[in-house]
Amino acid sequence: MSIQDTLEAFQQRLVERGLKSTRQRGLIVETFFELDRHVNVDELLLEVRKRRASTGYATVYRTLKLLVDLGFANERRFGGPETPTIYDPSFERDEHFHLICLECQHIIEFRDVPLEKRHEAIAREQGFTLQQQTLDLYGHCTRENCPRRPQA
């Protein structure tokens, strides 16, 4: 699905809800779909401000909430209450899982089709209709700027 299609689907959903589409909201939504990865409010704000410097935090926050509300994003919080909520694009997107660093909150997304199939089989065995899959694996990453990384 192209960004244009996703945007159109979003506009349509807005109209169905009797909500107006503003240019500013459109820009935020477009940026979110273009990034195509999970972001927290600050990360998205930073990207949107590259295009429209006067964008406010509250507007981005409200737009992300709206995206969740309309089924275009999943709201997730990994780790403790001090980690920021992230927003994952979800519309027409493949199932994916997460590796989360407990130290620097770095998140890696991965796909694993055999694992998805296994989850489906488990659900089927239990007479369960699967709607959504999530898998969050916690540990420590090896990124250069992760405080946990052993010093050379």
Work out how close the CB of 133 gets to Zn ion at its nearest, in angstroms, rounded to a whole number. Answer: 12
Binding test (CB under 5 A) with Zn ion, winner from 109, 112, 120, 136: 109
- Of 14 and 73, nearer to Zn ion (C-beta) is 73
How far apart CA 105 and CA 121 sit, in angstroms, is: 31
Tell me the window of 17-25, 41-49, 95-103, 119-127 that interacts with Zn ion (CB under 5 A): 95-103
- Radius of gyration of the chain, Cα coordinates, nearest whole angstrom: 18
Is residue 104 near Zn ion by the rule CB under 5 A?
A: yes
Which residues partner with 108 through β-bridges?
99
Binding test (CB under 5 A) with Zn ion, winner from 31, 33, 38, 60: 38
Catalogue the E-assigned strands of the chain: 73-76, 86-89, 97-101, 107-110, 136-139
Kindly state the number of chain residues that form the binding site for Zn ion, as judged by CB under 5 A.
9
- Of 25 and 98, nearer to Zn ion (C-beta) is 98
At residue 26, φ and ψ (nearest 5 deg) are -60, -40
- Of 8 and 34, nearer to Zn ion (C-beta) is 34
Binding test (CB under 5 A) with Zn ion, winner from 43, 95, 103, 116: 103
Is residue 101 near Zn ion by the rule CB under 5 A?
A: yes
Is residue 41 near Zn ion by the rule CB under 5 A?
A: no
Residue type, 111: R
Tell me the window of 56-64, 85-93, 111-119, 130-138 that interacts with Zn ion (CB under 5 A): 85-93
Q: Residues 94-110, buried b or exposed e (16+ Cβ, 10 A)? A: eebbbbbbbeebebeee
How far apart CA 41 and CA 126 sit, in angstroms, is: 38
How far apart CA 116 and CA 134 sit, in angstroms, is: 10
For the segment 44-73, give every residue that binds Zn ion (CB under 5 A).
none
